[in-house]
Structure 1
Amino acid sequence: MAENKSSEVHFTIQGHRYPDSWLELTLFDSNGQSIKSSKNGQYFLNATLEQGKDYYLAVNALGLQFGGKMFDYKLSSEAVR
């Protein structure tokens, strides 16, 4: 029986911060099921990912009003283990 290899990955987002809104990271599996989300105001997300599987990371701007502020952001990831 083959052992599934997995890695802990640290996702970080850098961008504008406003007192009434924030960016949220949500990780999904290949079936579209939500696996994990960042907490309010945290601009990072740690997750353990299995090798050979597909994952999707969504970035949502929460608390924004239509026609409101624009966000510029940079997303990075790092395998930490």
Structure 2
Amino acid sequence: MLTRILIAGALSVAFAPPVLAQADIVCDQAAMTKLETDISQFTEATRKDYATKELAMAKEALAANDTEKCKTHMANALKGGSPD
């Protein structure tokens, strides 16, 4: 029983940070502009390309008023394809 509780606790800690990080993202034009600036500073071409595509999808979601999809794409763009 205790083992199951410990495993459940470990799993919840492992998956909480990405969810909490996405909750902090604001999907609006000001955030898009800041994200574009951040992406322009990426030096690795593959990472920059990935982030640019995610940003484009985030902008489409913003235009469609799909806030959750917008936040997901913005979070992906911020990571830039890095596996954190």
Q: Would you call these one fold, judging by a TM-score over 0.5? A: no
User: Which protein, 1 or 2, shows the higher relative CO under an 8 Å CA cutoff with sep ≥ 6?
Assistant: 1
TM-score by length of 2: 0.26
Q: Which has a greater percent of helix?
A: 2
Structure with higher Rg: it is: 2
